[in-house]
Amino acid sequence: MAAINRDDVAHLAQLAHIEMSADELDRMAGELAVIVDSVKSVSEVAGADIPATSHPIPLTNVLREDVVGHVLTAGQALSGAPDAQGGRFRVPAILEED
Amino acid sequence: MTDATLSFDVAMEKFDPVLGFEVHVELNTATKMFSSAPNVFGDEPNTNVNEVDLGLPGVLPVVNKKAVESSIKIGLALNCRIAESCTFARKHYFYPDTPKNFQTSQYDDPIAYDGFLDVELSDGSIFRVEIERAHMEEDAGKLTHMGGATGRIQGADFSLVDYNRAGVPLVEIVTKPIQGAGSRAPELAKAYVAAVREIVKNLGVSDAKMERGNVRCDANVSLRPYGQEKFGTRSETKNVNSLRAVENAVRFEIQRHAAVLDSGNTIVQETRHWHEDTKSTTSGRPKSDADDYRYFPEPDLLPILATPEWVESLRAELPEPPAARRKRLQADWGYTDLEFRDVVNAGVLDEIEETVAAGASAAVARKWWMGEIARRAKLADVDPVALGVTPAVVVELDALIRSGAINDKLAREVLDGVLAGEGTPADVVQSRGLAVVSDDGVLQSAIDTALAAQPEVADKIRAGKIQAVGAIVGGVMKVTKGQADAGRVRELILKTLGVEG
């Protein structure tokens, strides 16, 4: 049985703010199921003593010294903004107070 | 709409409160968590950002080493275990405060976990709060809601966004459920947040100014019948951003939950918003799909390996713990246990330390912070620290008093002026003309007038009843509208009458 079904895809699409038609949901559920199943077969090979891989590159602690570097002007920062006012990005009011 | 509440005492008779806290601490690094843009409060909007903070395509974040070290220090100070290896994760949500549409955070492998903090309550007893985890993440930008009547989001026409705060390093400290606090829950809430604030300030890793949002608290409250093991449904009150507000919010939520449960209804698991003006919370959004953040490992950031050598070198840098520091300060200042506890509870320990460091005596520092400043804070219903009086102002007022330029009564007027934004104490003395009358000629003529008005008192003093001099001093103070140095006036009166003091 596939680890991902049509309802899962619809739920993810909603969370990701992606509008999908019924056809697209059907097709995507099938395609994602193949991918998820493929990943699952890799998991079967890896034993319980192998930790999950979060990164493919064998590097750690790539760190930066705490020194101020490159910074934009407000004008540069706002240059790609659809709308701006008083040096700030102007966005539609969104009713969620977090 | 106002929620019904039970009185706190009745709520406590019927229900057992369980608390939980998420405290966000902004680190005071020079730069941001993942970009080299400056981490500075209060600058012009969108001048402390670069491409990484704006989430522009193709950028590569790099972790700030000092932020990691500060996070490890916080973990150590909270008696946590430090993860040998940990990763960052993307926490997805759509809101304009994060231009990337995700917050870079940590998910199932926080850098610090399984700690505890011993919190001292006002009676000196110790309550141990277990720490679940402390993880690294980044702050969001600041939204200002425009239009509408109240300046709140409801009714706003649009919002303006400043991303200077976006990417500022944060450490989020999460407690395990706190049980057994009983009726001391509100006090414990305040004491816990105060203790965290004290620790991060003491470590030097955060400016720890709550009024600037350097330390922010989300408070979880649930109630259950006494004897029941299972927790009740909780509410999460967001952004309770002063110590008094933490105490008040927990108290209010306990009273509100109790009223709901007592009437046979159930608590809705939801976010609540604290309102300082009404001292109450209102309903935010219910927990829903929106809380499915689709976490996944951040592919652009590599794991952090905290080797034992690194951790131990950071442990060696830890300063004297706050509890030990308190013992030392009390001994240095010579305060009684009661005086010292009052100072701690008023939250002005740091201010007194800074005031003493700036040159005032311990007694003078306490006189101001626990006296006039505390009195005004109470009237204004704010924490003394939030009133706007700085240690430098206290030291200058004291110096002006000691030099004889002003007296205690005038000093209070000078403070009025300072708080009204009229400048330094010296500026206010000048602009308001508040200096004491030190011209002996002026004083002498006021004394002559007062003596002439009360010849029988003058006779008594001449006859040796020195204590009668108070009546004449009073007369002189009246004429000079309080702007005279009472000690000098007394001297001059006795001299005028030819009496030895």
| ipTM summary value | 0.89
Does A31 or B149 have the greater pLDDT score? A31
Residue pLDDT tens, chain B, 501 long: 578 999 999 999 999 999 999 999 999 999 999 999 999 999 999 999 999 999 999 999 999 999 999 999 999 999 999 999 999 999 998 899 999 999 999 999 999 999 999 998 988 889 999 999 999 999 999 999 887 655 555 667 899 999 999 999 999 999 999 999 999 999 999 999 999 999 999 999 999 999 999 999 999 999 999 999 999 999 999 979 899 999 999 999 999 999 999 999 999 999 999 998 899 999 887 765 556 898 999 999 999 999 999 999 999 999 998 888 888 999 999 999 899 989 988 889 999 999 999 999 999 999 999 999 999 999 988 888 888 899 999 999 999 898 888 888 889 989 999 998 899 998 988 888 877 776 777 788 888 888 888 888 888 888 888 888 888 888 888 877 777 878 888 888 888 888 876
Verify whether the Cβ–Cβ distance A54 to B284 is below 8 Å.
no
Domain borders along chain B are 8-292, 322-432, 440-497
Name the DSSP class of B154: T
Choose the closest CB to A96 out of B48, B95, B303. B95
* Residues of A (27-46) whose Cβ lies below 8 Å from B: none
In words, the CATH class of domain A6-45 is mainly alpha
Cβ contact, residue pair B66, A69, below 8 Å: no
Question: Could you say which of B94, B153, B160 has the minimum Cβ distance to residue A95?
Answer: B153
Query: How many angstroms separate the CA atoms of B360 and B352, rounded?
Result: 9
Where are the domains positioned within chain A?
Answer: 6-45
Smallest Cβ distance to A55: which of B54, B92, B297? B297
Q: Which residues of B touch A14 (CB under 8 A)?
A: 289
Contact between A64 and B294 using a beta-carbon 8 Å cutoff = no
Inter-chain CB proximity A87 and B54 less than 8 Å: no
CATH number of B440-497: 1.10.10
The pLDDT assigned to B1 comes to: 56
B158 contacts A16? CB cut-off 8 A: no
Contact B66 A66 (CB under 8 A): yes
Chain A closest CA to B33's CA: distance in Å?
A: 9
pLDDT tens by residue, B67-104 = 999 999 999 999 999 999 999 999 998 899 999 999 99
Query: Which pLDDT does position A98 carry in this prediction?
Result: 42
Structure tokens that stand for B168 in this block: 């500022």
Contact A17 B94 (CB under 8 A): yes
Contact B48/B36 with Cβ under 8 angstroms?
Answer: no
pLDDT of residue B177: 98
Min Cα distance A20 → chain B (Å) is 18
Place of tokens 């509890």: B323
Provide the edge-to-edge strand list for the sheet that holds B158-162.
A84-85, A88-92, B158-162, B142-146
Helix (H, G, I), strand (E, B) or coil at B222: strand
Contact A89 B305 (CB under 8 A): no
| Tokens coding B411 | 């000093």
**In chain A, what residues touch B299 (CB-CB under 8 Å)?**
55
Residue to test with chain A: of B160, B216, B236, B310, most A Cβ within 10 A: B160
Contact B21/B222 with Cβ under 8 angstroms? no
Compare CB distances from B302 to A60, A72, A93 and report the shortest one's residue: A60
Rounded Cα distance between B50 and B413, Å, is 47
Q: Decide if A90 and B63 are in contact by the 8 Å CB cutoff.
A: no
* Cβ-based contacts of B204 with chain A (< 8 Å): none
Q: Which amino acid is at B353?
A: E
Residue A1 to residue A29: CA distance in whole angstroms: 12
